[in-house]
Amino acid sequence: MPRSPLMDLAFGFMPAQIIYVAAETGLADAFTGDEPRSSAELAKETGTDAPSLHRLLRGLTGLGVVEQRGPDLFALTAEGRRLRADAPDSIRSLIMLFCGPEVWRTWGDMAETLRTGEYAWKRATGRTPFEFFASDAELSATFNRAMAEHTRDVAPGVIAAHDFGRYATVADLGGGDGTLLAAILRAEPGLCGVLFDLPAGLTAAPGTLEDVADRTEIVPGDFFESVPEGADAYVLKSVIHDWHDEKAAAILRTCRAAMRPDARLLILEQVMPEMLRPESAGIVRNDLNMLVSTGGRERTEAEFRDLLDGAGFSVVSLAGPLPPSAYHVIEAKPAG
């Protein structure tokens, strides 16, 4: 009987947890350079059981995260090094977040979300996502690092696609540790920036922005209440998709109230195709994650235009999809 692709998909949770456990235990950080190490040596470094770890290492070999150099000798692959906390292209925190116990429980409750239309995160944790992460410094740090890792990969495409040199001041709203704003300011030495987020999101910002601190203002606040006035461009990256239409429109109206008539709003999001193809799988998974985790959604171009129009904006341009994550830059201006 031929092997069923559907069966491979159904057991996809197994590789996810194999990689998560490697990230959670700091396994990649226990390797020294390219030198192979035994399961006993790695177990001592990670506080794990050596025979069990040996079996996990065999699983990681099958996933291309490590390679086997001997009966009990393993070395990290190039992809495996991305699990190191100190790797310049690390995705360890992204894996810790999206394969961690909270998201795991939330996706496990998807059937109830389909029955009720209510997102699962609060049922799984007792709090909204933002309340949950703000309540625990370690969890908040993991969330902030995960967002920074993702933004690091997206930033070059965004900067290449949009002329930030048009502006004197750019405000990054909900900008976390400032990874995107720092990249923009480094690309445009004449530009000044404002980083705006809840206090919990700004914890690591001074370090991220250290080399551009003389051109940056860090402002704590809540974009449902107000945002800083006077910027030439306002950036919302991966913000609007977190919220259902009513809340998303409230954020946009707050921005509209702070903007001059000649200012611009830049929404950085993926755009859901009207017609889906196999290569659309990533944005569909993101949309389902919003469904169960925040009650938000990924939107089509038409849905973005309707949302912006209702909040007092008109779309000027739409650029994208931008590699590597298929983001778009939606430029809008205050209407009328």
Active site residues: 241
192 φ/ψ angles, rounded to the nearest 5 degrees = -110, 155
Name the strand (E) or helix (H) holding 315: strand 313-322
Calpha distance 170→157 (Å, rounded): 17
Question: Residues 33, 38, 41, 43: is their CA dihedral positive or negative?
Answer: positive
Q: Are 129 and 121 in contact (CB under 8 A)?
A: yes
CA distance linking residue 182 with residue 188, whole number of Å: 10
Q: Which helix (H) or strand (E) holds 302?
A: helix 301-310
Query: Which residues, including other chains, have CB under 8 Å from residue 99's CB and lie 6 or more apart?
Result: 16, 17, 19, 20, 23
With a CB cutoff of 8 Å and minimum separation 6, the contacts of 126 are none
Concatenated DSSP letters for 193-233?
EEEEE-GGGGTTHHHHTGGGGGGEEEEE--TTT---S--SE
Residue type at position 310: G
Measured at the alpha carbon of residue 237, what is the angle toward residues 267 and 269, in degrees to the nearest 5?
Answer: 60
Q: How far apart are CA 205 and CA 195, in angstroms?
A: 8
The residues, any chain, with a CB within 8 Å of residue 137's CB and separated by 6 or more, are none
Q: Which two tokens stand for residue 198?
A: 């809840």
Backbone angles phi, psi at 76, to 5 degrees: -70, 140
How far apart (Å, rounded) are the C-alpha atoms in residues 83 and 56?
Answer: 15
Match 């910002």 to its residue by tokens.
205
